[in-house]
Chain A
Amino acid sequence: ETLRVADSFPVGHYIAENMTKVWMEKVTELTGGEVEFEYYPAEQLGKSKDLLSLAQTNTVDIGYVGVSYIADKLPLSAVGELPEAFNKSCQGTEAYWSIAKPGGILDQAELAPQGVRMLLVMVLSPYQIMTAKKEISGVDSFGGLKLRATGGTKEIAVELMGATPVTIPAPETREALTRGTIDGVLFPHSSVLPYELEPALAYGTEDMNFGSFVASYVISEDRWNRLDPTVQQAMTDAAEEVIRSACKISEELDLEDKQTMADAGVEFISFSDDDKAEINERMGTIGEKWAEELDARGLQGTEVLEAFRNALAEQNGAPE
């Protein structure tokens, strides 16, 4: 049988190339060619914020869910985008997958009630602050700067650094930077090159976590149940392998992008341990505030945050 997979990544995007397509090939291989895929990238079947709904109605079989696009339906799933204690893609991804995979607390609290199960996920290497002119030296370097940030918790992160968050459409970011409409961005390295920001940037932080982005693929529970058990097994097995290989590649690409930016003249600044501790403390308050607000809405904010923090602690404690 043929399954329709839809996402919003531009053609050739590294997540699609290193996770989605690899997984599809793996599943086809494991099922001996019984399951094939029709892949619809680049919003061919719907905008980012609509793909969950399209998966729920079985218009597509497997849909991309960028959780911050669907914050109204999946508020708890944003836990992986909080500036928590990880600074590498795989750390975040492993911890997140452990709570979001079918049976995990996030699955039970939010995904299963929405009638979907997560098949694949990647938590990106965390966002860094990069500036056009202002030299970054320490925790106080950001006061009064206008930084582009989108989404609630990232805007709070910018505010906690003493800067002002500005919302600007992504394709307009470079112009805004070169003309001083904004002083800098809160961006993942992987988005700097596609939007050609590197010529406009001079300084960037490294190894910090000012928030991240969760890219996942889901299938409706109903569609899943209609799949043959051997196919289900093949998908699960392929996912366990691909999720890990994809985040590794994502980390490597992050380093490459960073090098490209450095070659283009961007200077990366490592904070002192004191500054790091200070920033981590400030960032930690975002998660607690986030959980409190969700608790107040009758959602399991604190439970999910605790589970994610525990999973991260396990990650960080585990030997490589």
Chain B
Amino acid sequence: MTTTPEDNAGTRFLSATERLFALFSGIAIGVIMLTVVADVSMRYLLRQPLAWSYDMIGTYLMVAGFFLALSDTLRHHGHIAIDMFTDKLPRPMLHISQGVGYALAVAILTIIALQAGHRMIVAWRGGDLISASVSWPTWPSYFLAFIGTALIALRCLIRAALHFRSCLTGKDWPGLLYSPHEDQPEKE
């Protein structure tokens, strides 16, 4: 139902992972909603707010909500881009620029992922807890950032390769360029 034209046999697994992660991200957002409602209800009805809601949301749920949806959003061309010139620029220039852009993005996202991975290992080894009284580990937060960023780095790598390929063959890879005048497959 939600394969994008950019997909082929090689990237189908990546797309499936992205969909799954985005689902988790959506669920995290749903849980945030329920947590807030529970927190407020407990406070007003029982005068006993949930002491853990603040840390739970800030440390885990928002991090999951953001990082796990990153790559799937890119796959859907959901990250805002200025696309009004893309039809007017020479195709080879467009592909080279975006190819280089995505390649550089791979580098930056890889650094972010490695840094998050490093912090995860340090936090895991050190047994870091959010605070002395909230004894929750901090490493899952870094883990979420690590896998989410690693995934979007992979997606950018494929984008870069397809742009260079399109430039060489002179034929746009289907679905690679976002066209504002066409409805997106998944939007209503």
Write the residues of chain A forming the contact surface with B, with a CB cutoff of 8 angstroms.
68, 71-73, 75, 78, 144, 146, 151-153, 155-156, 164-167, 181, 290, 293-294, 297-298
A167 contacts which chain B residues (CB < 8 A)? 49, 51, 53-54
A298 contacts which chain B residues (CB < 8 A)? 127
A153 contacts which chain B residues (CB < 8 A)? 132-133
The reply on B187 being an interface residue by CB < 8 A is no
- With A72-B123, A73-B128 already in contact, the answer to whether A152 and B134 are too (CB < 8 A) is yes
B142-180 vs A, CB cutoff 8 Å, 1 = contact: the mask equals 000000000000000000000000000000000000000
Which of A146, A152, A181 is close to B131, meaning CB atoms less than 8 Å apart? A152
A166 contacts which chain B residues (CB < 8 A)? 43, 49
Are B43 and A151 interface neighbours, CB within 8 A? no
Are A155 and B133 interface neighbours, CB within 8 A? yes
Which of A146, A164, A181, A294 is close to B132, meaning CB atoms less than 8 Å apart? A294
Are A290 and B132 interface neighbours, CB within 8 A? yes
Q: With A and B bound together, what is the CA distance between A111 and B123 in angstroms?
A: 16
Q: With A and B bound together, what is the CA distance between A179 and B134 in angstroms?
A: 29
Q: With A and B bound together, what is the CA distance between A151 and B126 in angstroms?
A: 21
Are B47 and A72 interface neighbours, CB within 8 A? no
Number of interface residues of B (CB under 8 A): 19
The reply on B48 being an interface residue by CB < 8 A is yes
Are A75 and B131 interface neighbours, CB within 8 A? yes
Q: With A and B bound together, what is the CA distance between A248 and B102 in angstroms?
A: 55
Q: Closest residue of chain A to B53, judged by CB?
A: A167
Tell me the minimal C-beta distance from A232 to chain B in angstroms. 28
Are B131 and A71 interface neighbours, CB within 8 A? yes
Are A293 and B51 interface neighbours, CB within 8 A? no
Which of A73, A75, A164 is close to B49, meaning CB atoms less than 8 Å apart? A164
Q: With A and B bound together, what is the CA distance between A32 and B110 in angstroms?
A: 44
Tell me the minimal C-beta distance from B33 to chain A in angstroms. 18
> Could you jot down 24 A-B contacts, CB within 8 Å?
A71-B129, A71-B131, A72-B123, A72-B130, A75-B129, A75-B131, A75-B132, A144-B47, A146-B43, A151-B131, A152-B131, A152-B134, A155-B51, A155-B133, A164-B47, A164-B48, A164-B49, A165-B51, A166-B49, A181-B43, A290-B132, A293-B133, A297-B129, A298-B127
Q: Closest residue of chain B to A298, judged by CB?
A: B127
B128 contacts which chain A residues (CB < 8 A)? 72-73
Are B47 and A71 interface neighbours, CB within 8 A? no
Complex interface residues of chain B between 2 and 41 (CB less than 8 A to chain A): none
B49 contacts which chain A residues (CB < 8 A)? 146, 164-167
- With A146-B43, A166-B49, A167-B54 already in contact, the answer to whether A297 and B127 are too (CB < 8 A) is yes
Which of A72, A152, A290, A293 is close to B138, meaning CB atoms less than 8 Å apart? A72
Q: With A and B bound together, what is the CA distance between A73 and B48 in angstroms?
A: 30
A181 contacts which chain B residues (CB < 8 A)? 43
A72 contacts which chain B residues (CB < 8 A)? 123, 128-131, 138
Q: With A and B bound together, what is the CA distance between A98 and B113 in angstroms?
A: 39
* Residue from the set B43, B48, B127, B133 with the largest chain A CB neighbour count within 10 Å: B133
Q: With A and B bound together, what is the CA distance between A299 and B187 in angstroms?
A: 53
Are A146 and B54 interface neighbours, CB within 8 A? no
Are B54 and A293 interface neighbours, CB within 8 A? no
Q: With A and B bound together, what is the CA distance between A154 and B129 in angstroms?
A: 17
Q: Closest residue of chain A to B59, judged by CB?
A: A72
* Residue from the set B123, B126, B135 with the largest chain A CB neighbour count within 10 Å: B126
- With A146-B43, A166-B43, A297-B127 already in contact, the answer to whether A71 and B48 are too (CB < 8 A) is no
Q: With A and B bound together, what is the CA distance between A25 and B132 in angstroms?
A: 37
Q: With A and B bound together, what is the CA distance between A297 and B136 in angstroms?
A: 13
Q: With A and B bound together, what is the CA distance between A153 and B85 in angstroms?
A: 56
Q: Closest residue of chain B to A75, judged by CB?
A: B132
Are A152 and B132 interface neighbours, CB within 8 A? yes
B129 contacts which chain A residues (CB < 8 A)? 71-72, 75, 297
Tell me the minimal C-beta distance from A29 to chain B in angstroms. 38
Q: With A and B bound together, what is the CA distance between A181 and B132 in angstroms?
A: 27
Q: Closest residue of chain B to A159, judged by CB?
A: B51
Q: With A and B bound together, what is the CA distance between A293 and B47 in angstroms?
A: 28
Are B51 and A71 interface neighbours, CB within 8 A? no
Tell me the minimal C-beta distance from A155 to chain B in angstroms. 7
Tell me the minimal C-beta distance from B118 to chain A in angstroms. 11
Are B133 and A146 interface neighbours, CB within 8 A? no
B123 contacts which chain A residues (CB < 8 A)? 72
Q: With A and B bound together, what is the CA distance between A165 and B42 in angstroms?
A: 13
Q: With A and B bound together, what is the CA distance between A54 and B135 in angstroms?
A: 25
Q: With A and B bound together, what is the CA distance between A75 and B128 in angstroms?
A: 9
Tell me the minimal C-beta distance from B1 to chain A in angstroms. 40
List the 6 closest pairs (A to B, CB-CB), nearest first.
A152-B133, A71-B131, A167-B54, A152-B131, A72-B128, A72-B138
